[in-house]
Structure 1
Amino acid sequence: MPFAPRGRGWRLGSAVDRIEGWLEAERDQLPLWLPVMLGIGIAGWFVLPDRPSWTALIAAALGLALGGVAIGLARRAGFALLVGGLAIAGGCALAWAKAEWVAAPVLTRPVLAAFDADVERVQQLAAKDSVRVILCPVAAPTLPPRIRLNIANADAPAGLARGDRLRLRARLVPPPSASLPGGYDFAITAWFQQLGATGKAFAPVERLSAAPDGGSLRERIGKHIRDALPAKAAGIAVALVTGDQGAVSEADADAMRRSGLAHLLSVSGLHITAAVGAAMLLTLRLLALSPTLALRWPLMLIAAGVGAVTGIAYTFVSGAEIPTIRSCIAALLVLAGLVIGREALTLRLVAAGALVVLLIWPEALIGPSFQLSFAAVVAIIALHEHPRMRAFVAAREEGPLVRLGRNMAALLLSGIAVELALAPIALFHFHREGLYGALANIVAIPVTTFIVMPLEVLALLFDVVGLGAPFWWATGKAIALLLSIAHTAGHAPGAVALLPGVPRGAFALIVAGGLWICLWRTRLRWLGALPFAAGAVWALAMPAPDLLVTGDGRHLALRGGDGSYALLRPKAKDFVRGMLSEAAGIDEDLADLDDLPGAACTADICLATIRRAGREWRLLATRSAYLAPITAMNRACAAADIVVSDRRLPRTCRPHWLKLDLPMLTRTGGVSLVFGDAIRITNISGDEHPWTGRAVRRQLAR
């Protein structure tokens, strides 16, 4: 017995020494985990529901930091725990503070309002035949200070631009939350953009005064491009230059998403890199024509400066959205590395860029744009930093055909790595992922970078002297080629993988495993394959929902015996149909509940019987405002397992399992059901995030 404690101490000491040795071998990789720890704290604030939970997370992180101090700051493990704990606590506190700092009045109920407002931003929405504007109401104390409205093109004043003052009437509603579990929650975006309401304007919309400069440079460039090209090509051309995707038709946008080319429409890393690279190359070539300048002037420094100015200017012209600013920051860091003679693109540079973005915009972490862009860059750099990949792409004496084949193979491997990194993120946010993206990007990226964008720039430049028409014609043909690639890849058999939903826990495991593999360098990196595989299996094992109910109770989709889904209201709009199809993980049109075997519907009510889990389930749903006799309604409820309604049902309506009427759905939000197994709801019980209705009402009460 006297030797037992010593034996345990020896084993503990040996384990600590092994960890210390491993961290010493990975010492160059440790800084890469700083933005990851900061991100964990930010994500924790968004995932956890209330103030006690946020406080507990900060306290636990500070405890982790104190544990590092106890181990000893002279040890790498102790210092890593200290920094990691402080970063997690700081991330949670940062997100909490940012949410409080941007707080602005939010509408709590729908209203009809007539008001004057200044136009802050204009975006064309070709798919909806309307224009979307951000307005700042004037002398309207009962309205939020910033509002987002859609105005039909037929009702919008001609040449509507930023700086105009309008007089209009509109129906305003609070920023909508997710209608279904796992859906897009606009209320979060609106909160951090300080948008207090959204809605639709009614005719007439009167312009009281026009902007003296005809709108922003971005708007003027967009209008010029739309005037120079046919509508189909103009939408893509405008998106490439200004980042405004509103003019892209729904069919083309869907093809770009299905083919894995949607990233080309968002001004981000590819576009900034092309602009900065072209500016640097042109500057170097022109200055090198002079022997004096070539020998005596620091041409690389000058070219880097020109590239930096070009990148910053492009960022502002394209609207200075967060993805563009993030890419610009990364480009500036790359240029700084080139100037001081360091390797241009490393994981440390990516980590620095992520750290800057998260410190300024912590809310960006939960958005797909941040996750997709950084995941793609990390996957590419991690792959090319591997010794075998370095050896494969290293320059050598070989014929041009062999060199071309090697470069194409390297590009394909990079595409596959990117697809593996992006697929879980796309499936988590959008429930779909294009499977042919690696192949489509091999052709589409060079076409966009070396043909479409240069032609578009030349067309804009030559338009200054009225000679841009030939370049616009060539630009239209190049965009037609790009769209042909997108439609071919996006509508090929098996082009899209679909999942009804990825649980947060599964997504967290996949992300943790992927980061572990990419950020470490020793053999222990491959331990990340375990959580990655576990998360993937968990996500793939999720059963398809049997019933989807939107948060307002107006729409539901019921899964039939053949796996297809039927919709309660035959006249539901395309937006609703698309949202329900996405949540169900299907890529086909929804049928009508009236036509589902086992269903009987009238104009006011539907009854459906579905066999699941070894028994029959009876669904009762209302679909009109007509009130049935209470005795008949009670009998129907008593015979049903689930009742769904967009209005309040009497207390005497008592189904066998679940009553989803308006009061219940107000508490739960949208609902996803697997009969006899699982229920997922949109609203977290006790959620105290400031964009929730409960938190907004509490603020107004104070």
Structure 2
Amino acid sequence: MAGWLSMVWQVLQAQRGHLFPWVPVVFSCGIAGYFTLPVEPAFSVLCGLMGVGLGMAVAVVWLPETARPLALAIALVLLGAGWAGLRAHYVSAPVLKGHYYGPITGQLVAIDRSASHALRLTLRDVVLARRDARSVPDRVRVSLHGEWHMPDLQPGQVVQMTGHLSPPGGAVEPGGFDFRRHAWFLRLGAVGYTRTPVMILMPHQGKMPVARARWALSERVQNVLSGQAGAFAAAVITGDRSGLSPDVLRHLRQTNIAHLLAISGLHMGLLVGTVFAALRLALVGLFGDRLRAKKLAAAVALVPGAGYLALSGGNVATERAFIMVAVVLVGVLLDRRALTFRAVAFAAMLVLLLRPEALLSPGFQMSFAATSALVAVLGAVRPGQGRLRRWGVSLVLTSAVAGLATAPYSMAHFNQVSHYGLLANLLTVPLMGLLVMPFGLIAVLLMPFGLEAVPLWVMGWGLEWILTVAATVSSWPGAVGAIMAPPAMVLPILTLGACFVLLWQGRLRWAGAVPVIVAGALWMTGVRPAILVAEGGGLVGVMTAEGRAVSRPKGDSFVAKIWLENDGQGLGRDQSSSLWDGGLPGRVGARLIHVHGKRSAAAFLGCQPGDLVVTSEPLPATGCTTIGPKMLKQTGAIAIIPESGGLRISSAAQMAGRRLWAQRSVSADQPNQTPLHLNMASR
């Protein structure tokens, strides 16, 4: 053991001065370990992990020098797991039990749009009729369906509507995105919809001033700039995307420039960079001391960055961007190189300490993948002589590197690749920096004096160009390619390999290419489930030679959309429903019968012993294998693989485990209620 530790120590000695960037990587392994546990650890266990981790971190100074790296790594893993678990307990809030229909009253805190473009309200301090206050969720989110005159809604108002609420649903297929976990960390205890008008019971009464200022700013911008350019400007300045049309959002995603909408690193960097550069020039003229001007400009530039963070709603992406910009500016104040792996690592640790659950989000993964790749490449490549040449080469290089670094994560989370994304970015990102952000900043500064019209008009000109590029490029043949969702282990393996390539010093770094290649091979050889059944039994999808066939042309639209996107075959709902023939994969002559609704259940004529029936309503004894509502209530969505003699089943409940956010399907005396195998002759 001592010899092995000595060998590891000698290897790490060559990395002296370059090990700090590994701290968030190892800490993230602990966070990821917590989220992959099948059973929620007891609170005392989490406290124990934190205690042991802190103890090891402190005691490392008394350990032999050769044992310190391994001890620190173990301590960081334990601290990561314990910290993520404590965070999950800290955000604990009531989750609605069962379905609710009736009056919903609460204070409006956010207005946005759902995936179907329905206006959506987030409420807090919720009151539900006939429900004990202790069991009512802290926050609920209600989508507005129907056409009526909408009142002038603003954050801070107390509103009421009559609607349906349900607890947040689980993954739409085993191993898929778990919305319940996402909602848990948002303290969102119920989601639903209403088809009745919204009534304002009380005005804002001075509450939530920042949110109201943000909403008022969005309205003022859109009053000056009409159409989608105004909605785009509001999204860039305040984070309010509610005015953007579904077509615009689709065009931006298909051309890989949707990141221009998110208030993240690009926007924060452009805003703070503009302020910093302008102040630096002004202060040099005032003081004549370049170093003093540089540091003063860096200190003052933090203020508009913090204001932008607050005004834009303070979401995770903006929070992450502000931390990164703040680290860079503090580096300027301390006479340190602004953008290094140490700065990136420090920013990543701050984000993970604030919100460890951010590790699982596409935004965190793509943001730090792009930043790390840019630090590595721009630190090794010199653009050449001449300001114009350096600017041009840097623009192409940063767009290409950031695009390549984020591509695996974008493809894995969004199941598409933009073939002309680099071109679209080259045509739009420069204008974002030269016109959109600078003139947006000028417009906000001039708004108190009523002089924002001209700078907003210039900003709108740039945004119209971006919208034109997005619409044109997305219409080109082959602009978008569909990508199959990867197996669960692909992104972790790929990320660890990429981290080794970027962070390790010396030729051994290229050994990190091996796990990257392995991850790619696992992705390409992955197989999608033969049969998928939606939670509740409302939809069934069967994989055929032409793609997935779904059992109904309408209904469960979101579930069907996710299934088809994850398949990566580019099918639409109409195409997939036309493929349905009722055949059971792997069994010649056997049928897969989907019974949906009470009418279909009443008209059900029976089945043969070799058939499989999936029903959303209780049926009498059928004489064949039946998957019904009682089973699906326990399992959630399921994936089925036909085998000789039966069906192998994987369920969303089984994959989610017994966690704080997923306690629906298991009990203390029955830790796994998910059937793993069904005999085809059973009833």
Return the TM-score normalized by structure 2: 0.87
1:223-244 CA-partner distances (Å, limit 9, x unpaired): 1122222231122111111122
CA distance in 2, matches of 1:479, 1:572: 36
- Superposition map of 1:215-364 within 5 A: 216-290=212-286, 293-295=287-289, 298-364=292-358
Residue 671 of structure 2 corresponds to residue 681 of structure 1: no
CA distance in 2, matches of 1:91, 1:98: 11
State the shift of 1:593 in Å: 6.8
State the shift of 1:576 in Å: 4.2
- Percent identity for Structure 1 against Structure 2: 28
Do the aligned residues in 1 keep the contact of 2:420 with 2:479 (CA within 8 Å)? yes
Do the aligned residues in 2 keep the contact of 1:182 with 1:501 (CA within 8 Å)? no
Indicate the larger mover: 313-322 or 180-189.
180-189
Partner residue, 1:106:
95
Do the aligned residues in 1 keep the contact of 2:53 with 2:79 (CA within 8 Å)? no
Do the aligned residues in 2 keep the contact of 1:63 with 1:85 (CA within 8 Å)? yes
- Superposition map of 1:435-514 within 5 A: 435-514=419-498
The structure-2 alpha-carbon separation of the partners of 1:495 and 1:321, relative to structure 1 and needing over 3 Å to count, comes to: same
The structure-2 alpha-carbon separation of the partners of 1:336 and 1:569, relative to structure 1 and needing over 3 Å to count, comes to: same
CA distance in 2, matches of 1:581, 1:518: 35
Partner residue, 2:660:
690
Residue 83 of structure 2 corresponds to residue 116 of structure 1: no
State the shift of 1:316 in Å: 0.2
The structure-2 alpha-carbon separation of the partners of 1:555 and 1:248, relative to structure 1 and needing over 3 Å to count, comes to: same
Structure 1 residue identity aligned to 2:653:
N
Residue 593 of structure 2 corresponds to residue 620 of structure 1: yes
Structure 2 residue identity aligned to 1:244:
D
Partner residue, 1:426:
410
CA distance in 2, matches of 1:490, 1:520: 39
Partner residue, 2:203:
210
Do the aligned residues in 2 keep the contact of 1:68 with 1:82 (CA within 8 Å)? no
Partner residue, 1:522:
506
Structure 2 residue identity aligned to 1:454:
P
1:119-138 CA-partner distances (Å, limit 9, x unpaired): 22233569634242323225
The 3-state SS of whatever aligns with 1:302 is helix
Q: Say which of 638, 643, 658 aligns to 2:609.
A: 638
The 3-state SS of whatever aligns with 1:204 is coil
State the shift of 1:594 in Å: 6.7
CA distance in 1, matches of 2:657, 2:347: 32
CA distance in 1, matches of 2:160, 2:9: 68
The 3-state SS of whatever aligns with 1:298 is helix
Q: Say which of 171, 177, 191 aligns to 1:178.
A: 171
1:424-467 CA-partner distances (Å, limit 9, x unpaired): 22233222232433332222211112112223333344444444
Q: Say which of 361, 369, 380 aligns to 1:367.
A: 361
The structure-2 alpha-carbon separation of the partners of 1:488 and 1:573, relative to structure 1 and needing over 3 Å to count, comes to: farther
Structure 2 residue identity aligned to 1:660:
I
Partner residue, 1:666:
633
The structure-2 alpha-carbon separation of the partners of 1:23 and 1:193, relative to structure 1 and needing over 3 Å to count, comes to: same
The structure-2 alpha-carbon separation of the partners of 1:72 and 1:492, relative to structure 1 and needing over 3 Å to count, comes to: farther
The structure-2 alpha-carbon separation of the partners of 1:114 and 1:614, relative to structure 1 and needing over 3 Å to count, comes to: closer
Do the aligned residues in 2 keep the contact of 1:258 with 1:491 (CA within 8 Å)? no
Q: RMSD over aligned Cα, in angstroms?
A: 3.4
The 3-state SS of whatever aligns with 1:168 is strand
Do the aligned residues in 1 keep the contact of 2:49 with 2:82 (CA within 8 Å)? no
Do the aligned residues in 2 keep the contact of 1:131 with 1:156 (CA within 8 Å)? no
The 3-state SS of whatever aligns with 1:527 is helix
Indicate the larger mover: 329-338 or 154-163.
154-163
State the shift of 1:473 in Å: 3.2
CA distance in 2, matches of 1:588, 1:647: 29
1:391-437 CA-partner distances (Å, limit 9, x unpaired): x32x54x6x7xx52x65444434333323322222233222232433
The structure-2 alpha-carbon separation of the partners of 1:544 and 1:566, relative to structure 1 and needing over 3 Å to count, comes to: same
Number of positions where the alignment pairs a residue of Structure 1 with one of Structure 2: 658
CA distance in 2, matches of 1:337, 1:247: 38
The 3-state SS of whatever aligns with 1:643 is strand
Indicate the larger mover: 55-64 or 237-246.
55-64
The structure-2 alpha-carbon separation of the partners of 1:334 and 1:686, relative to structure 1 and needing over 3 Å to count, comes to: closer
State the shift of 1:173 in Å: 0.7
State the shift of 1:361 in Å: 0.8
1:625-683 CA-partner distances (Å, limit 9, x unpaired): 226579942xx15242x33222234454423xxx4322232333223445559755322
CA distance in 2, matches of 1:629, 1:694: 29
State the shift of 1:273 in Å: 0.8
State the shift of 1:42 in Å: 0.8
Structure 2 residue identity aligned to 1:644:
V
The structure-2 alpha-carbon separation of the partners of 1:159 and 1:152, relative to structure 1 and needing over 3 Å to count, comes to: farther
Do the aligned residues in 1 keep the contact of 2:583 with 2:591 (CA within 8 Å)? yes
CA distance in 2, matches of 1:628, 1:492: 46
CA distance in 2, matches of 1:46, 1:222: 37
Q: Which runs of 5+ in 1 are unaligned?
A: 1-8, 600-607
Indicate the larger mover: 686-695 or 531-540.
686-695
Residue 521 of structure 2 corresponds to residue 537 of structure 1: yes
CA distance in 2, matches of 1:60, 1:118: 37
Do the aligned residues in 1 keep the contact of 2:146 with 2:195 (CA within 8 Å)? no
Partner residue, 1:570:
553
The 3-state SS of whatever aligns with 1:196 is strand
Q: Which runs of 5+ in 2 are unaligned?
A: 669-683
Partner residue, 2:583:
609
Structure 2 residue identity aligned to 1:424:
P
Partner residue, 1:603:
none
Q: Say which of 82, 97, 112 aligns to 1:93.
A: 82
Structure 1 residue identity aligned to 2:375:
I
Q: Say which of 132, 140, 143 aligns to 1:147.
A: 140
The structure-2 alpha-carbon separation of the partners of 1:542 and 1:344, relative to structure 1 and needing over 3 Å to count, comes to: same
Q: Say which of 553, 564, 567 aligns to 1:581.
A: 564
The 3-state SS of whatever aligns with 1:181 is coil
Return the TM-score normalized by structure 1: 0.85
Q: Say which of 524, 533, 547 aligns to 1:549.
A: 533
The structure-2 alpha-carbon separation of the partners of 1:71 and 1:505, relative to structure 1 and needing over 3 Å to count, comes to: farther
1:528-547 CA-partner distances (Å, limit 9, x unpaired): 11111001110111134433
Indicate the larger mover: 32-41 or 157-166.
157-166
State the shift of 1:37 in Å: 1.3
State the shift of 1:324 in Å: 0.8
The structure-2 alpha-carbon separation of the partners of 1:100 and 1:61, relative to structure 1 and needing over 3 Å to count, comes to: closer
The 3-state SS of whatever aligns with 2:598 is coil
Partner residue, 1:560:
544
Do the aligned residues in 1 keep the contact of 2:30 with 2:76 (CA within 8 Å)? yes
Indicate the larger mover: 493-502 or 307-316.
493-502
The 3-state SS of whatever aligns with 2:160 is strand
Do the aligned residues in 2 keep the contact of 1:64 with 1:85 (CA within 8 Å)? no
The 3-state SS of whatever aligns with 2:485 is coil
CA distance in 1, matches of 2:550, 2:577: 9
CA distance in 2, matches of 1:529, 1:345: 25
CA distance in 2, matches of 1:630, 1:130: 38
